[in-house]
Amino acid sequence: MANQVKIMETVLRDGHQSLAATRMRITDMIPVLEQLDNAGFHALEAWGGATFDSCLRFLNEDPWERLRTLKKHLPKTPIQMLLRGQNVLGYNHYADDVVTEFINRAVDNGVGIIRIFDALNDVRNLETAMRAAKTAGAHVQGAFVYTISPYHHKDSFLQVAKDLVQMGADSICIKDMSGLLSPYTAYDLVQALKATIDIPIQLHTHYTSGMASMTYLKAIEAGVDIVDCALSPFAMGTSQPATEAIVAALEGTSWDTGIKKEALYPIADHFRSVKKDLAETFKLNTAMDIDTKVLSFQIPGGMLSNLLNQMKEQGMADKYPELLEEMPRVRADLGYPPLVTPTSQITGSMAAFNVMLGRYKVVPREIKDIVRGKYGRTPAPIDPEFRKAIVGDEPVINHRPADDIAPQMASLRNELSEKGYASASTEDVLSYALFPEVALEVFKNNR
């Protein structure tokens, strides 16, 4: 079946990251892993993104142990992870030796497919990660972040995709984290990619604006190879389209996934009770509404509620509408970065400060770093007057930012040794590199 569409299932990662604050535990997953392994998915996204941080920070779990457990129960279906290029799974750039070692250990512990992206679509920030993943023997998926601005258009995305192919990508992912990709735009973009590139194209979107299922159908008509879906209890809202619905929609067509929807029902029933338990245990609101206003504000769904909570805590909930209007202005000032981790958090915080304290009266370090080029090249050039107002005469970085970072692994190992963990594994050193305080807490409780 030349046209068969494959499905990458996200219930073990992005599904619960989007709807349940990444609180799903490994014990919630184990009972149905064998069934998931036998369902016929292209891959199971089960690691990376915010799961690493959440394991350490909230669940007292070792993320590496989680990965090994997943691999033990998933002998057939590849485990896919999401990696933020030079940011790895943290929020800053790390040295090349940390990036390389992290990928080596991820692959050795069970990851088969690594989706690698950069928040600014600066491919220089993907060089080391893609090279390391290739050397380690993983399937390397180069991703470009989809967004809307005067500086983002079909040809600019095609150029990033071509660069990723040149860098050795085995497949390309359109990563639409805010649900901004409309159905007919998806058709045109996928068609252009298929005409230009000779490797599989995968589409990842979120239901935030309400268009995701329609977008998938048009992308499938245009020839997309793989789509990301979540089993129904962790689908829709700010997550992905429901797996069972997409499987049913394609049944009996030339795009038939080959997955039996009936085999998915008992797995979905299990996750329905997991979702209920997570909501009660962690006091979560797991019912996220569709909000088509995201097409104007372009703020990822989970972030809207976080920003509103921040405003409430400051007693400024009445200024929330102003915040929504300020976000696009800050984004334009910063050179139209796509709003994805970490740029979404940085832009959102700056907009909140501007509304509460006056425009750019307080400027966080991360804003200065974006303006100076420390995160990479912004899609649009930053206005020189704005740059001077924010960073004065500080030097601007025009080269690959990680070139300025000296190797870190040896010093991190020494630091851990001084803290009483002389025999720390390489995995523990990497956990400490990304999230020092929370990793130490987990070590204290479990080592």
pLDDT of residue 301: 58
**Nearest alpha carbon to residue 408 among 90, 47, 163, 171:** 90
**Nearest alpha carbon to residue 350 among 369, 335, 363:** 363
Phi-psi category of residue 269: left, alpha or beta, with phi > 0 → left and psi -120 to 50 → alpha: alpha
Report how far residue 388's alpha carbon sits from residue 398's, in angstroms, rounded to the nearest whole number.
16
pLDDT of residue 435: 97
Query: How would residue 240 be classed by pLDDT, with cut points 50, 70 and 90?
Result: very high
Q: How far is CA 342 from the centre of its chain?
A: 10
Report how far residue 396's alpha carbon sits from residue 428's, in angstroms, rounded to the nearest whole number.
35
Query: How would residue 302 be classed by pLDDT, with cut points 50, 70 and 90?
Result: low
Instruction: Check: CB of residue 12 under 8 Å from CB of residue 45.
Output: yes
pTM over 0.85: yes
pLDDT of residue 164: 98
pLDDT of residue 291: 84
Fill in the amino acid letter for 320: Y
Query: How would residue 1 be classed by pLDDT, with cut points 50, 70 and 90?
Result: low
Q: What is the pLDDT of residues 139-190, one digit of tens each?
A: 999 999 999 999 999 999 999 999 999 999 999 999 999 999 999 999 999 9
CA angle, 413 as apex, 410 and 418 as ends, to 5°? 125
Report how far residue 149's alpha carbon sits from residue 328's, in angstroms, rounded to the nearest whole number.
10
Q: Is the dihedral of CA 300, 278, 438, 435 positive or negative?
A: negative
Q: Which two tokens stand for residue 382?
A: 């930053």
> pLDDT: is 431 or 300 the higher one?
431
Q: Which two tokens stand for residue 216?
A: 């998938």
pLDDT of residue 300: 66
Q: What is the pLDDT of residues 29-41, one digit of tens each?
A: 999 999 999 999 9
- Comparing 174-183, 237-246, 284-293, 294-303, the range with the smallest average pLDDT is 294-303
Helices (H), 152-242: 154-166, 183-196, 212-221
Q: What is the mean pLDDT of the chain?
A: 95
Q: What is the pLDDT of residues 100-113, one digit of tens each?
A: 999 999 999 999 99
Partners of 308 in the β-ladder: none
Q: What is the pLDDT of residues 331-368, one digit of tens each?
A: 999 999 998 888 988 998 899 899 999 999 999 999 99
- In the numeric block, the tokens 């390391």 are attached to 132
Q: What is the largest CA-CA distance in the chain?
A: 64
- Percent of the chain having pLDDT more than 90? 85
Q: What is the pLDDT of residues 430-440, one digit of tens each?
A: 999 999 999 99
* Residue 145 host element (H or E): strand 139-145
Q: Which two tokens stand for residue 285?
A: 């609101």
- Collapse the DSSP code of 347 into the 3-class scheme (helix H, G, I; strand E, B; otherwise coil) and give the result: helix
Report how far residue 104's alpha carbon sits from residue 96's, in angstroms, rounded to the nearest whole number.
12
Query: How would residue 308 be classed by pLDDT, with cut points 50, 70 and 90?
Result: confident
- For range 188-211, the mean pLDDT: 97
Instruction: Check: CB of residue 369 under 8 Å from CB of residue 396.
Output: no
Q: Which two tokens stand for residue 111?
A: 């990851």
Query: How would residue 298 be classed by pLDDT, with cut points 50, 70 and 90?
Result: confident
Q: Which two tokens stand for residue 279?
A: 């909501």
Report how far residue 76's alpha carbon sits from residue 41's, in angstroms, rounded to the nearest whole number.
10
Q: Parallel, antiparallel, or unpaired for β 79-83 and 111-116?
A: parallel
Q: Parallel, antiparallel, or unpaired for β 171-176 and 43-48?
A: unpaired
Report how far residue 331's alpha carbon sits from residue 317's, in angstroms, rounded to the nearest whole number.
21
**Nearest alpha carbon to residue 10 among 269, 243, 325:** 243
Rounded to 5 degrees, φ, ψ at 33 are -60, -40
- In the numeric block, the tokens 């972030």 are attached to 303
